[in-house]
Structure 1
Amino acid sequence: MTRGYFVTGTSTGVGKTLVSCALLHAFRRNGETAVGMKPVASGCEEGRCTDVDLLVAASSVTARRELINPYTLIPPIAPHIAAQRAGIEINVDTIREAWLELKKIADVVIVEGIGGFLVPLNAHQNSGDMARALDLPVVLVVGVQLGCLNHALLTAQAVGATGLALAGWVANCIDPHMAALDENVFALEERLDCPLLAVLPFDSAADAKKLAGLLNVPAMVQDCV
């Protein structure tokens, strides 16, 4: 049966796309077909989004663009505001329908969220509601920087409130001058009730394919969908 994972982060710009692409490469190495999905993307110039392009490149199967990225928004702002300005409303049911089509063509579907876990999508729903509609275990990307402990623990608490499982977490070192790095990672290991999948070193030109080898994919809490 097809498996899926929802990749969220402690905030925007913490490496969700990098980790999503690394996961796609990791599953491909295991001999599984894998496809990435970015249901909602903002900051897309001329209808194209770099994050979506990277997910497409990391995937091992080809799918229609409207399935991979149902909502493409131009302004680099909160998705519900960008959608309002475009005169549309993000519909979680539409996203679920696209996801159901993708799961027909791959062994694993990696769904990358937008912003943090509770970022609004419309007047009534947020990214967490999208994850719950897809009923996927969650991979948490922690951008390791000052304040990350609180951000990570609050996000984990929000995920738990939806009833979804945390499949694992990734410490992505986004601050090259982060003080007490090891101690911060250890503090989260003690407090997050899911496996640490990898500590990704700071690299301004990180290569998702190379980082795939660092991910402890077998440790991930798995769920069939």
Structure 2
Amino acid sequence: MSHAFFVTGTDTDAGKTLITAALIECANHAGYKTLGLKPLAAGGVQTPDGIRNEDALQLQQVASLKLPYRQVNPVLLNDAMAPHIAAAREKKRLSVESLVGYTRGAMMPSPKGGKADVCFIEGAGGWRVPLSPNQTTADFAKTLGLPVIIVIGLKLGCLNHALLTLEAVQRDGLRVAGWAATQVDPDMSVVQENLDTLKALLPDAYLGFVPWLDHATPALAAEYLQFDVLIPGAAAE
């Protein structure tokens, strides 16, 4: 049986990629074939293989099924800014239909590795980031129809952002499969109090809290997560 999840954040730089890559590491250790996709990314760096997005490269690296970069990240916008603005600057058009097509194609069984047991699709920014005048990343997630993982970046204002994101996901008819928190501000005070408040107000699907790490890696972050919240009995499957 295969499992797939859509990962969103309470904001840009909430820690989505770190949590997504860490969950892939967890699934790898549980014996699953894994896949991580970043269908839309804004912000590229020059590499020997051309312009690449660092978040997408990280997902490609940790996944056990090795897809070509163009399948992991089919839409890459050069500038790190709101996707619809970056696309307009490059005279490109973003659409939910094309993103869904790319994503479903990448999730098909590959000739070499077969089909992924667990797939994580990382969104761009927060839940309602515009893609065009009449479409947002929420429309992308709704069309896929997958359970959602919310990543909360702990900083001043995170409680409001978390509750609004939860409300929006549920209003759009999708199930919250789990939520995780990351400390994105190393100097944030009352971290534990904020985390306790989130636990009291959010669904009982707590994946874990990754504190501020000077040298964060997916493997290190995975040690703070409870993967069996997503797939009960995962280690035994």
* 8 Å Cα contact 2:179-2:206 kept in structure 1: yes
Report the counterpart of residue 179 of structure 1 in structure 2: 189
Structure 2-normalised TM-score?
Answer: 0.89
Question: Contact between 1:5 and 1:109, CA under 8 Å: does it hold in 2?
Answer: yes
Task: Select the residue among 166, 171, 176 that pairs with 1:166.
Answer: 176
**Match in the other structure for 2:112:** none
Instruction: After superposition, give the CA deviation of every residue in 1:103-150 in whole Å (9 maximum; x if it has no partner).
Output: 223111111111111110112111111111111111111111111000
Q: Alpha carbons of 1:158 and 1:221: their partners in 2 closer, same or farther (altered >3 Å)? A: farther
Which residues of 2 match residues 1-225 of structure 1 at below 5 A?
A: 1-46=1-46, 47-104=51-108, 105-220=115-230
Tell me the alpha carbon deviations over residues 152-199 of structure 1, each in whole angstroms, 9 at most, x when there is no partner.
101111111111111111110112222211111111111112411111
Report the AA paired with residue 91 of structure 1: S
Structure 2 letter corresponding to 1:73: L
Letter in 2 for 1:108: V
**Which runs of no fewer than 5 residues in structure 2 stay unpaired?**
109-114, 233-237
Q: How many residues align?
A: 222
Unaligned 5+ segments in structure 1 are none
- State how far apart, in whole Å, the 1-side matches of 2:80 and 2:100 are: 24
Shift of 1:17: 0.6
The structure 1 segments of at least 4 consecutive aligned residues displaced by more than 6 Å after TM superposition are: none
Cα distance in structure 2, aligned partners of 1:79 and 1:136:
22
Structure 2 contact 95–135 (Cα < 8 Å) conserved: no
Q: Report the identity percentage.
A: 37
> Distance between the aligned counterparts of 2:119 and 2:100, measured in 1?
12
Q: Deviations over 1:60-90 (max 9, x none)?
A: 0111322211210001110011111111111
8 Å Cα contact 1:80-1:121 kept in structure 2? yes
**Alpha-carbon distance between aligned partners in 2 of 1:208 and 1:34, rounded to the nearest angstrom:** 14
Partners of 2:182 and 2:149 lie apart in 1 by 12
